[in-house]
Amino acid sequence: MPKKKASATYSYNDSLKMLAKLQQMAIEEGNINLALKAEELKCKIASLQADREITENNDDITKILVDFTNDNQNSQNTGDICPAASAKQEV
């Protein structure tokens, strides 16, 4: 069975531009319900994009922390990372 072609995808900006255009058309036609629906969809898209950016940033932070931990475990200097732990032992 032949594969179906992937449908056209829109970028975040393309989607917002299209919804803004449709919203303007609805306003010009006096269809407030459609204009409000376009605004609702623009907000949903913006929210999804914000969630995506937060997730990507969290992945970056996790990678940095894992790399930091691995570097400290693999280093030749195996001293304590936490100065408070060594201060506690000296007392």
If one counts every other C-beta atom within 10 angstroms of the C-beta of residue 23, the result is 19
Domain ranges across the chain: 12-70
Radius of gyration of the chain (CA): 26
* pLDDT tens-digit series, residues 46-60: 888 887 777 776 666
Backbone angles phi, psi at 18, to 5 degrees: -65, -45
CB 19 within 8 A of CB 45: yes
Contact (Cβ atoms closer than 8 angstroms) between residue 86 and residue 80: yes
The model's pTM is 0.49
Q: What is the pLDDT of residue 22?
A: 94
How far is Cα 20 from Cα 37, in angstroms, rounded to an integer? Answer: 11
